[in-house]
Structures are given as structure tokens and as C-alpha cells.
């Protein structure tokens, strides 16, 4: 491209009063509020050897590292973002949020 093709462009200056209230200025999360994410619920962990895993059969029990009334972790991309208690919602499980950690 040669310099003979370059042209100056005059841009009109916009007055800030004409712009109104910006979505980004007022609430930056407004831009992503409809983005779908997938949460995972962690009830706890179990540690076992390969031999113990191979010996598992129907009705075997794997004890978890959590107590019965301990909160469960709510994870987003592998990071704990909240904790809560396991509850029954009709015929389904649910989580009652007890702690948020959205830092």
C-alpha cells in the first residue's frame, strides 16, 4: 500500500452527556448475567487402593472424609465458590447455601 492511498479522517467529538449511563459503569456483571455455567457439588473424597476398588461390589460402602452434618462444597471450574447443606426438594436433592466465597 502506497502513501497515496492514506487519507485523513475527521472524527466528531462526542459529548459525555449524550452517551447516557454506560452498562459497564453501572454494573459490569450485567454484561455476563445470562452466561450459563455448570456447578459441581462435592460431598467429600474417598481414598482406596486399586485392590480395594477391584473388591467393590453392589451395596459396598465407600466412607467419605466428611461428617454427616458437614457442609458440601459448590465448585465452579474446580474452585470452591460456596458451601451449603444437602436438602431434599421434593424427590430431588438440593443445596441450601450457607456460605458464599465469590472472590
Model pLDDT, residue 75: 96
Structure confidence by residue, pLDDT tens digits, 6-44: 888 888 876 666 556 555 567 777 888 899 999 999 999
Q: Is 52 within a domain?
A: yes
Model pLDDT, residue 19: 58
pTM recorded for the entire structure = 0.62
Look up the CATH number of the domain holding residue 48: 2.30.330.10
Q: Is 7 within a domain?
A: no
Q: Please tell me the total count of domains within the chain.
A: 1
Q: Is 54 within a domain?
A: yes
Element (H, E) at 19: helix 16-19
In contact, 68 and 61? CB cutoff 8 Å: no
Which structural domain, as residue segments, surrounds residue 75? 36-103
Amino acid at each position: 500500500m502506497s502513501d497515496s492511498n492514506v487519507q485523513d479522517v475527521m472524527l466528531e467529538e462526542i459529548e459525555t452527556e449524550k452517551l447516557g449511563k454506560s452498562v459497564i459503569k453501572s454494573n459490569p456483571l450485567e454484561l455476563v448475567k445470562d452466561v450459563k455455567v455448570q456447578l459441581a457439588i462435592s460431598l467429600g473424597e474417598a481414598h482406596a487402593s486399586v485392590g480395594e476398588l477391584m473388591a467393590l461390589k453392589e451395596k459396598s460402602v465407600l466412607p467419605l472424609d466428611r461428617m454427616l452434618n458437614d457442609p458440601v462444597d459448590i465448585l465452579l471450574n474446580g474452585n470452591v465458590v460456596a458451601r451449603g447443606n444437602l436438602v431434599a426438594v421434593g424427590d430431588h436433592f438440593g443445596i441450601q447455601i450457607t456460605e458464599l466465597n465469590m472472590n
